Amino acid sequence: MKAAAMGLAGVLALTACGGGDPGDGGLGGSSKKRVEIFSWWTGPGEVDGLKAMRQIFERRNPNFTFYDAAVAGGSGDQARALLSSKLKANRPPDTFQGHAGAELQGYIKAGKLEPLNFLYDELRLRDVFPEQLVEQITVDGNIYSVPVNIHRSNILWFNPKVLKDAGVSGPPKSIKEFVDALEKVKKAGRIPLSIGPQWTRVHLLESVLLGSLGTERYNALWTASADWSGADITTALENFKKITSYAGTPQEDWQPAAKQVADGEAAFNVMGDWAYGYFANPPDGGLGKTAGQDFDWASAPGTDGTFMWLSDSFTLPKGAPNRDGAIAWLKVAASKEGQDAFNPLKGSIPARKDADRSLYKDYLAYSLEQWATNRLAGSIQHGVVANDAWRNAINEAVGRFMQDRDVAKLQRALVGAAKNSGQ
């Protein structure tokens, strides 16, 4: 909590001095109008995709200046805390990143967003985005955001050499095989599973739940009346306890945890496919590593055939100071050019169905194929299945669990979190 509070204080200090983008023409008496774009893409790997979209935005809009209001911290927990105080005070940025699904529905229900039907009509976007994705960002026939990508959360990243040295023949396919492999790596004297801050544990939990419960049962968990008290959930949480007992020292964010795998210090890391951008992008943004050699991937154990998805989307908040500028940004985010520049670097596949497939190689070619053929499940940590209150309650329960390791207590907390979610 202390670290999060310090992070937020740092952020406030930064925004207070108008920082974040020294090249901001809007503050320097220039006639260009600035567009404040709020995200949490500041770290290695993440920022490369944003930069690519920014270049297109600047080229297309000589009258606007891109003002980068990004707040550091993977998965955006810190960014969302600041955003929520800005929205409450009716001081929104011009546009902000929000996850399609329950998270975005929260902003909509709170009356914070303008519908974007006019943009969907003008750009004929209903034809280019998958129907089931548009449903996630629609309320009462109004569409409220522009999805820029599809990410996958249930990926097991691993170091092939570390596995080989430990006598593990390949990536584990089931939870049981996973535990056996973790034990072998431990005996071989390497870190079995690298881990980052608190949210990465919730990220791990969603894959363990999916791998333990199966897709149908997992997908049925996301209404307030769902049953979280069953013996199957107890088993899934026991699995989580066992798996987390092999975790290394928590790293500051997801990048250093992923890097432990690429550097051969750790065998496994369960992380979203933004890790691919970080592994593969050329330095300085990425690590310039080679798939199949320095790192490799598989579906998180027990989840093969299911794509646990999430989607970054951009919004038009009510009262955006530079509404035209925000719309200009949304047009870039919606475009084929924007998505094909952003996604190959971000480690995601485009939300648009008509993107240039030849740009998506290696892991990304695999992901396109999986997205087209797999069953779907939604991410918890990344805003798809649980609204903010529910996600926060899960987060707190997992945080307490890491201290007391009490499965029964964790399960009671999760039963309560579902009941009180109002979802």
Q: How far is CA 131 from CA 116, 122, 258, in A?
A: 16, 18, 33
* 103 contacts ligand GAL (rule: CB under 6 A): no
CA angle 264–268–269, rounded 5-degree value? 110
Cβ proximity to ligand GAL: between 274 and 295 the closer is: 274
- Nearer Cβ to ligand GAL, position 68 or 312? 312
3-state secondary structure 91-133: CCCCEEEEECCHHHHHHHHCCCECCCHHHHHHHCHHHCCCHHH
How many residues touch ligand GAL under the rule CB under 6 A: the total is 14
160 lines the binding site for ligand GAL (CB under 6 A): no
Q: Report the nearest approach of ligand GAL to the CB of residue 347 (Å).
A: 8
Is residue 380 within 8 Å of 395, Cβ to Cβ?
no
Q: Residue 144 or residue 274: which is nearer to ligand GAL going by CB?
A: 274
Closest to ligand GAL by CB, 273 vs 296, is 273
Sheet holding 64-68, edge to edge: 64-68, 33-38, 95-99, 312-315, 145-147
Residue with tokens 């990220």: 203
Please pick, from the candidates 74, 106, 317, 350, the single residue that binds ligand GAL as defined by CB under 6 A: 74
Nearest CA among 201, 161, 146 for reference residue 402: 201
- Binding of ligand GAL at residue 274 (CB under 6 A)? yes
SS3 state of residue 165: helix
Question: Identity (one letter) of the amino acid at 387?
Answer: N
- Judged by CB under 6 A, does residue 312 bind ligand GAL? yes
Count of positions (residues) in the chain: 423
Note whether 147 binds ligand GAL by CB under 6 A.
no
Piece of the chain touching ligand GAL by CB under 6 A; list 4-12, 16-24, 73-81, 258-266:
73-81
Contacts for 25 with CB less than 8 Å, ≥ 6 apart? 32, 34, 65
Considering only residues 26, 66, 69, 75, which one is a binding residue for ligand GAL as defined by CB under 6 A?
A: 75
For ligand GAL, the closer of residues 155 and 182 by Cβ is 155
Residues numbered 253-272 forming contacts with ligand GAL, rule: CB under 6 A: 254, 272
Region near ligand GAL per CB under 6 A, out of 38-46, 87-95, 214-222, 244-252:
38-46
- Site membership for ligand GAL, residue 331 (CB under 6 A): no
Would you tell me which residues interact with ligand GAL (CB under 6 A)? 40-41, 46, 74-76, 99, 151, 254, 272, 274, 310, 312, 382
